[in-house]
Structure 1
Amino acid sequence: MSVWQTVPEERSFGIVIYNFQGDDDFKLKLTVGDAVHLLQEEENWYSGYVISQRHLQGIFPKSYIHVKSCIVDLNGPLPIFISKEPPIAQEITTVLREWNSHWKNVYVAQ
């Protein structure tokens, strides 16, 4: 059995790359593209929450997360994650996320 350890601040942000059902009470349901705050880790699992649903916390497989280098701003009531990626990569990511939700709406509506 592995020991849970705090995730270093510079590795505390990730993006979900596979859907995870989280069938148990302590497992967190994840959807591709979700941004997650990684709080603790052990050999194969992270503990944390989806940033858009901060009230739900649970565990999920490490292999389902792509960790992104970031700077964490803790000056406010909630942590703010500032990406270390070039601005063009951030803009492309934002546009793809917006279009993803639009395409889902069009697909579900038909």
Structure 2
Amino acid sequence: MENFDLQFLNARLHSFIDASISRVAHRGFMTYDFQISAEEIRQATGRQRMTQQLIQGYVGFFARYNVSAEYDSTYAAFSVTLDLNVCTLTHHQAEYLSVAMATYRSEHG
């Protein structure tokens, strides 16, 4: 995988985590599903095709952070499932999650 792939994946992962955490404060759920289309990857990275090696690299990237990702060639997209109970968080994200959980508890008893 190239550096531009890692930059793209890091940006998406952080975006998915931040969106999930902000939802916790209102809904209380800890697991969320997201999608990354092959077209989105092409536009962001300039790649022309999704090789099996690239797909495995993307799946491996997410697995490193305890996030599930599967590529569906029929829809040309990754399905990403993020569970805040097990995914790897930065210090900032962990603090943000703690505040979101406290907010949910205070509003929903």
Category of TM-score, reference length = shorter chain: 0.3 to 0.5
Higher relative contact order (CA 8 A, sep 6+): 2
Structure 1-normalised TM-score? 0.32
* Bigger strand share: 1
Task: Name whichever structure is richer in helix by fraction.
Answer: 2
